[in-house]
Homo-oligomer: A and B are copies of this chain.
């Protein structure tokens, strides 16, 4: 089995039960615990690798979006669309991120990513498509929150994956009120 595939299963297992043991994760991956230890020297190593892997996937997804291209709203929609299929990585990252406190490289890459998103929101504000009376960070948070929630509902089967992006975009931009 490929290391990437194991990482994927480990992430999915840990977001369901974040107390899952190495044995649990090995079972989920259909391999022996010894073999899991061959891929990751320790649980700590594994968690670090998962954090990095999840983050890298999101970074890459963001890069593929080419957020400088087109309008801010178009870029936002692209971001949402590419993050949806990796919602489990996103969810894992939300839960595990507090434990990345001492990883300076990851933290600085996070800041870079956040900086890009802030730039994008500010561009939307300049383009007069995003409100200027809300904090930039809160706009990003709102999108994050909706992504997270949509992923939960996809996992529950309440939302169809193909409806998610549109649903998030419309909720994000126009809210649930009739104003």
Query: Interface residues, chain A, CB within 8 Å of chain B?
Result: 16, 18-19, 73, 98, 128-131, 134-135, 137-139, 141-146, 148-149, 152-153, 158-159, 167, 170-179
- B residues less than 8 Å from A177 (CB atoms): 73, 129-131, 172-174
CA distance A73 to B179 in the complex (A): 11
- B residues less than 8 Å from A175 (CB atoms): 171-175
Number of copies: 2
- B residues less than 8 Å from A167 (CB atoms): 134, 138
- B residues less than 8 Å from A149 (CB atoms): 141-142, 144-145
CB distance from A114 to the nearest CB of B (A): 12
Task: Report whether A176 and B176 are in contact in the complex, using a CB–CB cutoff of 8 Å.
Answer: no
Task: Report whether B142 and A146 are in contact in the complex, using a CB–CB cutoff of 8 Å.
Answer: yes
A137, A145, A148, most chain B CB atoms within 10 A: A145
- B residues less than 8 Å from A128 (CB atoms): 178
CA distance A138 to B153 in the complex (A): 9
Task: Report whether B19 and A142 are in contact in the complex, using a CB–CB cutoff of 8 Å.
Answer: no
- Knowing that A16-B98, A142-B146 touch, tell me 11 more A-B residue pairs with CB under 8 angstroms: A19-B19, A73-B177, A129-B178, A131-B178, A134-B170, A134-B171, A135-B158, A142-B171, A144-B149, A145-B148, A172-B177
